[in-house]
């Protein structure tokens, strides 16, 4: 009986981590990194035009970054792995921002002041769309990422299509392998 319960629990955990929804377009797990998926150029799904208000109160539209490589990172101030990756994402923006990359945060905090404090504490110079009810996250293609597990990162090519996804905390080095080929030389 214990083995059966353990097996059922393992299946349930895998289903949650997989996103429990329709499969995303064909993708490939990166060798040696099962949490990162990449999409071939002709198989990249489009993303809805996420829009709303930044933590600073400015209007943001994902389509406003068309022509840039966009790194969308979903986070919350209470999330330990989100805190660990914040300095890495700051470095990503600093390193490649001048070459046509834009990091865009997707803040899941219910309280805007908690998100603002996180942004200030980590000296994040990129905008974060405040999404306390996860309405923007629900507009992402089904099965692309598990929107209930933070953090997650989605990399868009300059045409606004998904080039890669990452579940869990991401590092500058992991993102380098994804964004470098997408940026102009």
Q: What is the mean pLDDT of residues 174-180?
A: 96
Nearest Cα to Cα of residue 33 among 146, 180, 140, 169:
169
In 19-130, which residue ranges form alpha helices assigned H by DSSP? 80-96, 112-121
Q: Supply the pTM of this predicted model.
A: 0.83
Query: 27-84 pLDDT, tens per residue?
Result: 455 556 789 999 999 999 999 999 999 999 999 999 999 999 999 999 999 999 999 9
3-state helix, strand, coil in the chain (%, to 5): 35, 25, 40
DSSP state of 68: S
């Amino acid at each position: 009986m214990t083995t059966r319960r353990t097996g059922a629990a393992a299946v349930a955990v895998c289903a949650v981590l997989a996103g429990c929804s329709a499969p995303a377009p064909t993708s490939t797990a990166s060798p040696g990194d099962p949490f990162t998926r990449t999409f071939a150029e002709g198989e990249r799904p489009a993303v809805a035009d996420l829009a709303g208000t930044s933590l600073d109160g400015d209007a943001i539209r994902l389509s406003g970054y068309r022509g840039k490589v966009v790194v969308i990172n979903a986070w919350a101030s209470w999330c330990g792995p989100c805190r660990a990756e914040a300095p890495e994402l700051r470095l990503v923006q600093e390193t490649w921002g001048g070459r046509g990359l834009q990091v865009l945060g997707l803040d899941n905090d219910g309280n805007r002041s908690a998100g603002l404090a996180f942004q200030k504490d980590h000296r994040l110079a990129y905008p974060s769309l405040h999404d306390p009810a996860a309405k923007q996250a629900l507009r992402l293609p089904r099965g692309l990422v598990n929107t209930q597990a933070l953090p997650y990162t989605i990399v868009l090519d300059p045409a606004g299509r998904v080039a890669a996804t990452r579940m869990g905390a991401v590092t500058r080095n992991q993102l380098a392998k994804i964004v470098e080929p997408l940026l102009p030389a």
